[in-house]
Each structure stands twice: as structure tokens, then as C-alpha cells.
């Protein structure tokens, strides 16, 4: 592949944008090399500025579940743009997408739209704190809930159970209110509840983690969290920014038959435009402004262009639920192909998958939490990533990310991907 123009553009970008990117993972820091600048995308493919085509396995980190530039989404955006792009007033479109979204997701009465997953999670925690009048939250190491202060916390040192800031700029005070736990370790969470009793406003979790590779909850883990939250009157927040409308029309709640108190959305719900949302019961939502005292707002929240893209995407998913079966089958095909290539080679590996989320880890031990995900061989991952990229396969540029398949992907694309993987493995 020729990355000439991408390299030039990256250089120019670095002069005016910190690190040349507007979101860190795009900079390829984990895998090395120059980020690829894209020019356009269509269906399952990305096209870069140097004229190369890539089979896309990140789908813009999740949103493009229908594939890129889906005709119904493009048409909806064009129509909306002609009517003006923002009014700062309510529109019927917002009620339409809210009604449709609530008809697809289990167990929720009301939904508030925001502009990103970060905002959704930040607001969900404030709401939980406002409802319970408590201050602490529990989050899990390796789960990502956006970049607001509350979540940029790593495990504390020594005997302390509260965390410490994982980024300069986050205060110790904030870190003091975030308790860190280990994904899939119910005993540890139980101990936190026993220690902090009635101080814990909310427990937030990605029900299927997608930001440390794809990590599935062990049997009984989420059910155990549900019980603990009920026992201690703590609000259970499912961060479904990744899994919402992806693992099923009703997200992880539907797929895993478990109910949360507040659920956050993003990514698919915006169909590729900047949208986030959080949903809850009437009893919880009545605390939110302007009905209640918990403040939350947004100049561009419910923006007509974004709502049109989200609505067109959700309509398509509702109209054709077989998309989830197709996505599952394609992802399974990829899984089996990878597995048989790796089995023949005898290289240590683990593949985690649920629905259209999948990740490959170059490690012999099961990948069940952040610590075990960190054991993967990064050197092997990086040469894998670059070998695939050179062969026209665009994977997430970090061993800690899940792949997200889209409906436009064909079995022929998967065969090409497996051929490319075979080539890489032969040389390893
Ligand atoms: C992407 C993501 C977020 C943050 O969403 P943004 O739109 O990037 O702010 C939050 N939670 C999860 C699980 C995500 O995958």
C-alpha cells in the first residue's frame, strides 16, 4: 500500500491539531506507523486519500451497523439539511425517534437525547446521584464510559478502594468518589458494597465490554450485580453506547435478559452523526430538568440532522430484525476461519465474541478482565495489524478494541480477510 498522501496530511494536521487527530486512538500510537486519512466510505469499504480500498472492521467504532452511506440514511440527512440544520426549539422528529427507540429497548419509559456517549454516561451518573442523594459510584477497570472526569480513574494504590486519576486534570476529589472493581469479579464488588453500604449512588458497567477487546460477562455476574444494586438501593447503569441496537434491537438488556435502571446509548443510535442518549423509568426520569431538579442541557441536543440519521438507522433495524442473525453468522464465520488458521499454526490465542463484536488476543489465558486482556502479545498484534492493513483490511489500531461488523460486509469480504490473515500467519 502507498500511504504517501496520508503521511503528508498527517504532518500538516500535527501542525494545527494536537497529535494530528481529534480522538487519540486514531493516531496509531499503540501500533505505530502513520494513520490512514480516509476520503470516503461506501458499504463495507473505506477509501483512503491515496486511492486504496479497505474492508472496514470498525464501522466508525460501531455506529455504521448498516454499512457506510446507506441510501435511506443519506436520503434522510439530505432531506433534513434542506429544512435547516438547527432551530433550538423542539421538533416532532425528536418525539418520533424517542418513541421508536423506546419501542425497541426493554424496560424504559423515557429517553433524553444528547450529543455523545460521553455526555450520556456523565448525565446518567449525575441523575443517579441526584435521585439517590449519594456520591460514590462503582466502575470496572478497562470499561470505557467516555472522557468525563468521573470515569478517568485507575485502581488506587495499596489498601485504598477508591481510585486515583488516570489523567492529569482530574482532581483527587473526583477520584475519591469513584470505586474501581474488576470485571467478572462479583466477590470484589460484594466487598465494596459491604464497605460503603449506603454511599453508592450507581454502579456503571458495559454489560459486554468492548473497550478492552470484547469481554463477555461470566454466567451470573450481571445477575449478581443486579441483586447487589437492589439490596443496597443503588442504581444500575448499563452503558450500552457500544452494545445498544448492536447485540440486538434491545441491546444487551434484551440479548442477556437482564434489566438495568438507567441505560446509556450512543454510536448506532445516531447512525453516524453525533448522538448519545440515556433512558430510564418515569420514576427516575422525573428528577431530570425541566421536570425535576437534576440539571442537564444541550444547545444541539436533538439536532434535526442527527435525529434524522438516527431515526433512519433505527427504522431500518426495526423493519429488518434479521440483520442481527446475518451479523451473528458473518462474525461466526470470521471466528471459525481465524480459529482454524491459528489452530494449525499452534500459536497461543483467544477469540472472544458475542453477536457482531469480536476480538482476537495473542495469549494462552482466558481474557475475562482488563488484567488478562493486558497479557496479550502486543508485538504480534502490531505486526498483525500492519500486515492486515497492507492487505486492505482495516482493523482497530489497538489490541484493546473490539471489531464491529456491519451488514454491508459480504462472505466474499470475509474470505479475503481470512486469506490475508493466512498470509500473515504463514510469515509469523
Ligand atoms: C464510545 C463509548 C463511549 C463514549 O462515547 P463518545 O460518543 O465517544 O463520547 C462510552 N461508552 C462506551 C461503552 C463506548 O463504547
Mean pLDDT of 62-72: 98
CATH of the domain at 416: 3.90.1150.10
166 and 292 assigned to the same domain: yes
Q: What is the dihedral of CA 270, 183, 127, 135, to 10 degrees?
A: -150
Give the C-alpha separation, 114 to 120, whole Å: 6
Return the residue whose CA atom lies nearest to atom 10 of ligand 1: 145
Does residue 162 carry a pLDDT above 90? no
298 and 342 assigned to the same domain: no
Q: Which of 61, 238, 241 to mutate to test the pocket of ligand 1 (most atoms within 8 A of CB)?
A: 241
Burial of 195 (0-12, 13-18, 19+ CB in 10 A): exposed
Give the C-alpha separation, 332 to 322, whole Å: 15
Return the residue whose CA atom lies nearest to atom 11 of ligand 1: 145
Of the pLDDT bands very low, low, confident and very high (cuts 50, 70, 90), residue 1 is: confident
233 and 181 assigned to the same domain: yes
Tell me how far the alpha carbon of residue 90 lies from the centroid of ligand 1, in angstroms: 25
Q: What is the dihedral of CA 330, 332, 335, 339, to 10 degrees?
A: -130
Q: Which of 144, 270, 310 to mutate to test the pocket of ligand 1 (most atoms within 8 A of CB)?
A: 144
Return the residue whose CA atom lies nearest to atom 6 of ligand 1: 117
Query: Which of 278, 299, 319 is the C-terminal boundary of a domain?
Result: 319
For 199-251, how does the pLDDT look when each residue is reduced to its tens digit (9 = 90+)?
A: 999 999 999 999 999 999 999 999 999 999 999 999 999 999 999 999 999 99
Q: Which of 237, 242, 243, 400 to mutate to test the pocket of ligand 1 (most atoms within 8 A of CB)?
A: 242
55 and 89 assigned to the same domain: no
Residues 356, 404 contacting (CB under 8 angstroms): yes
Residues 110, 290 contacting (CB under 8 angstroms): no
Residues 395, 4 contacting (CB under 8 angstroms): no
Give the C-alpha separation, 277 to 124, whole Å: 9
The pLDDT score that the predictor gives to residue 163 is: 86
How far is residue 4 from each of residues 59, 231, 369, 387, measured CA to CA in Å?
Answer: 24, 59, 39, 17
Residues 45, 68 contacting (CB under 8 angstroms): yes
232 and 209 assigned to the same domain: yes
pTM for the whole structure: 0.97
Query: Which of 319, 343, 378 is the C-terminal boundary of a domain?
Result: 319
Tell me how far the alpha carbon of residue 369 lies from the centroid of ligand 1, in angstroms: 18
Taking the CA of residue 239 as reference, the ligand 1 atom at the shortest distance is: 13
Determine which of 42-56, 81-95, 369-383 has the lowest per-residue pLDDT on average. 369-383
288 and 362 assigned to the same domain: no
Tell me how far the alpha carbon of residue 392 lies from the centroid of ligand 1, in angstroms: 27
For 374-415, how does the pLDDT look when each residue is reduced to its tens digit (9 = 90+)?
A: 999 889 999 999 999 999 999 999 999 999 999 999 999 999
The pLDDT score that the predictor gives to residue 286 is: 98
Taking the CA of residue 211 as reference, the ligand 1 atom at the shortest distance is: 15
For 256-274, how does the pLDDT look when each residue is reduced to its tens digit (9 = 90+)?
A: 999 999 999 999 999 999 9
214 and 194 assigned to the same domain: yes
Sign of CA dihedral 263, 267, 271, 275: positive
Tell me how far the alpha carbon of residue 412 lies from the centroid of ligand 1, in angstroms: 31
308 and 361 assigned to the same domain: no
Give the C-alpha separation, 114 to 264, whole Å: 10
Taking the CA of residue 117 as reference, the ligand 1 atom at the shortest distance is: 5
For 278-321, how does the pLDDT look when each residue is reduced to its tens digit (9 = 90+)?
A: 999 999 999 999 999 999 999 999 999 999 999 999 999 999 99
If one counts the domains in the chain, the total is 2
Name the residue among 421, 111, 145, 114 with its Cα closest to residue 280.
Answer: 111
Tell me how far the alpha carbon of residue 254 lies from the centroid of ligand 1, in angstroms: 20
174 and 297 assigned to the same domain: yes
Tell me how far the alpha carbon of residue 360 lies from the centroid of ligand 1, in angstroms: 21
Q: What is the dihedral of CA 109, 114, 116, 119, to 10 degrees?
A: -90
As a whole number, the mean pLDDT across the chain is: 96
Q: Which residues are the active-site residues?
A: 144, 239, 267
Share of the chain above pLDDT 90, in %: 95
Of the pLDDT bands very low, low, confident and very high (cuts 50, 70, 90), residue 425 is: very high
Tell me how far the alpha carbon of residue 118 lies from the centroid of ligand 1, in angstroms: 6
Of the pLDDT bands very low, low, confident and very high (cuts 50, 70, 90), residue 159 is: low
118 and 137 assigned to the same domain: yes
Q: Which of 25, 113, 118 to mutate to test the pocket of ligand 1 (most atoms within 8 A of CB)?
A: 118
343 and 241 assigned to the same domain: no
94 and 230 assigned to the same domain: yes
Query: Which of 268, 285, 319 is the C-terminal boundary of a domain?
Result: 319
How many residues can be counted in the chain? 428
Of the pLDDT bands very low, low, confident and very high (cuts 50, 70, 90), residue 155 is: confident
CATH of the domain at 264: 3.40.640.10
Q: Which residues line ligand 1 (CB under 6 A)?
A: 116-118, 121, 144-146, 206, 210-211, 239, 241-242, 266, 276
Per the structure, the complete domain to which residue 355 belongs is given by 4-69+321-427
Amino acid at each position: 500500500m502507498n500511504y504517501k498522501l496520508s503521511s503528508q496530511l498527517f504532518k500538516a494536521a500535527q501542525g494545527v491539531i494536537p497529535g494530528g487527530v481529534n480522538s487519540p486512538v486514531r493516531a496509531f500510537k499503540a501500533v505505530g506507523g502513520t494513520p490512514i486519512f480516509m476520503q470516503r466510505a461506501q458499504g463495507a469499504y473505506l477509501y483512503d486519500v491515496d486511492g486504496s480500498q479497505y474492508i472496514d472492521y470498525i464501522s466508525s467504532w460501531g455506529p455504521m451497523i448498516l454499512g457506510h452511506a446507506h441510501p435511506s440514511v443519506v436520503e434522510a440527512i439530505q432531506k433534513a439539511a434542506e429544512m435547516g440544520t438547527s432551530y433550538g426549539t423542539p421538533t416532532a422528529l425528536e418525539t418520533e425517534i424517542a418513541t421508536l427507540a423506546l419501542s425497541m429497548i426493554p424496560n424504559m419509559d423515557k429517553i433524553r437525547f444528547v450529543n455523545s456517549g460521553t455526555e450520556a454516561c456523565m448525565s446518567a451518573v449525575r441523575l443517579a446521584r441526584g435521585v439517590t442523594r449519594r456520591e460514590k459510584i462503582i466502575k470496572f477497570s478497562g470499561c470505557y464510559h467516555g472522557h468525563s472526569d468521573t470515569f478517568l480513574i485507575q485502581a488506587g494504590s495499596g489498601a485504598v478502594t477508591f481510585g486515583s486519576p488516570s489523567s492529569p486534570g482530574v482532581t483527587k476529589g473526583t477520584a475519591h468518589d469513584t470505586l474501581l472493581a474488576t470485571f467478572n469479579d462479583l466477590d470484589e464488588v460484594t466487598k465494596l458494597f459491604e464497605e460503603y453500604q449506603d454511599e453508592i449512588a450507581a454502579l456503571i458497567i458495559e454489560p459486554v465490554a468492548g473497550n478492552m477487546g470484547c469481554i463477555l460477562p461470566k454466567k451470573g455476574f450481571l445477575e449478581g450485580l443486579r441483586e447487589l444494586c437492589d439490596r443496597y438501593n443503588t442504581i444500575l447503569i448499563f452503558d450500552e453506547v457500544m452494545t445498544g441496537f448492536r447485540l440486538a434491537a434491545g441491546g444487551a438488556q434484551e440479548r442477556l435478559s437482564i434489566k438495568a435502571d438507567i441505560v446509556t446509548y450512543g454510536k448506532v443510535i445516531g447512525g453516524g452523526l453525533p448522538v448519545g442518549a440515556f433512558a430510564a423509568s418515569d420514576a427516575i426520569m422525573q428528577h431530570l430538568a425541566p421536570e425535576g431538579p437534576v440539571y442537564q442541557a444541550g444547545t444541539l441536543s436533538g439536532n434535526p440532522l442527527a435525529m434524522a440519521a438516527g431515526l433512519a438507522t433505527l427504522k431500518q433495524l426495526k423493519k429488518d430484525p434479521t440483520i442481527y442473525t446475518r451479523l451473528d453468522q458473518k462474525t461466526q464465520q470470521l471466528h471459525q476461519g481465524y480459529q482454524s488458521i491459528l489452530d494449525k499454526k499452534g500459536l497461543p490465542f483467544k477469540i472472544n465474541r458475542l453477536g457482531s463484536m469480536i476480538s482476537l488476543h495473542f495469549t494462552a489465558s482466558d481474557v475475562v478482565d482488563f488484567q488478562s486482556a493486558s497479557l496479550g502479545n502486543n508485538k504480534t498484534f502490531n505486526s498483525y495489524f500492519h500486515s492486515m492493513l497492507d492487505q486492505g483490511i482495516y482493523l482497530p489500531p489497538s489490541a484493546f478494541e473490539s471489531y464491529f461488523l456491519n451488514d454491508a460486509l459480504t462472505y466474499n469480504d470475509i474470505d479475503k480477510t481470512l486469506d490475508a490473515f493466512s498470509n500473515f500467519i504463514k510469515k509469523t
